Structure 1
Amino acid sequence: METTFGVWMQDAAERLNDNHIWMAGHFSGRVLQEYKSIASFPNGRSIDMRKFYQGCGHIIYNGSVYYHNAGTSKVVKDNLKTRRLQTLAIEDALYHNRTYLFHNSKTYFKFAVDENGLWLIYASAISGTVMVAKLNHKRFSVSSVVSTPYPVPNAGNAFVACGVLYLTDTKDTKVTHAFDLMKEKPLNVSLDLRSANGIMAMLSYYPENQLLYMWDNSYVKICQAYFTLDQKSLVKCCGRK
């Protein structure tokens, strides 16, 4: 890739299985690039998102792109087919003055998708800890909020898989902490993820094929996720070519 920061996305909805790829090529801007497949890269079309995004926490889900509206406490749902734009204000969240959720990627809000649907990870302006909201994607509303005890300064990045929040260390080299969002309790985990070189701007889990996508050191990389037989916890992550 040409930039240190960016987001590489496919539609994370399990029921959708096409080859389309979307890319946002920095931690701020208002243009989304769409490609029909990896074979068409880098010849795609530009989509005006109409609002400026901030960070590398966007995601595509059920035909809509979700992102943080820069400089505000609002997140946005933009239906890429109808171009209907919806906004949702998140109360008591950090969203400006460089008080990032994930400092490495300049991200205040991180969307995540797992086998249970759509989530939003953000930093509490009250406790300074990581918060996770379960979102109703159809209504674009908050269904519930889980407060974790994990301090924001200790988090490098995060994703949700099988109902568990996984957090990396500040250099994004290991998955060092897990929190069961259903039972609201911490889990023990320590998994190698990447080398300490450069910046990892994006980390997203795709439940359809249990892959982790990373924008790592200006490369897009794929990492296979392996779980216990009961799918309750992640046991290994390893690279795939």
Structure 2
Amino acid sequence: MNLIAADVGARLGAREVLSGVSCVLETGWTTIVGPNGAGKSTLLRVLAGLLPYQRGTVELDGRPLADWAPRERAVRVAWLAQAGEASADLTVRDTVMLGRLPHLGLLGTAGARDDAAVDAAMDATECRDWQYRRLQQLSGGERQRVLLARALATEAPVLLLDEPTTHLDAPHQVALAKLFRRLGTTHTVVSVLHDLPLALHADRLLVLCGGRVLAHGSHDDPVVHAALVDAFGGAVRIDRSGARAMALPDLG
């Protein structure tokens, strides 16, 4: 399932945040990268149908995003906000089960399939061992893994994740990167990341700067690498001497 944006323009108040953004997001893991204020989170919210845009079109699987009923869209597109919200009094398992709401509705009763989806999501994010603890008892990194599990429990073919590695230590960042690469074999995974070394492990990168797309292509595309350097004003350099390119700070 794919998401296609064509000439999208969006404003926040009087400020134009996205200008003429076009991209095709398909099966695989794509990271959206760029400096602060580039429009990364705004683009993700537009793609999720959470923010209106003033120009252009967004299509999900060949249909305008606005034509999908909310529940139809919710079982196809899962969303993780940059600062995800959930009641601190809920247990981990209850929080992850909220990801099944698009399937169950508000009055539905969870069954074996729902329990299996929740178990699989908690296993994928390594939070099942403390599934009966309450969110208020968790660290920031633990909470982030739970909120990601909630998105995964939806079993949506499209995952839109805004800073999913926030608060995570290095081992769990690496674990999630490996998870996104595995999911990318069957899902459309789109994540906003500030961590450029991690972002370069994605299948594709979309480089934003000033609300415009500078480049969109494979993680090993020299054009993408050049756009990264330009987007960050030369503060980074791309080392292509190894098997996979690395982003490094350029201290002159």
What's the TM-score once normalised by structure 1's chain length?
0.32
What's the TM-score once normalised by structure 2's chain length?
0.31
More strand by share: 1
More helix by share: 2
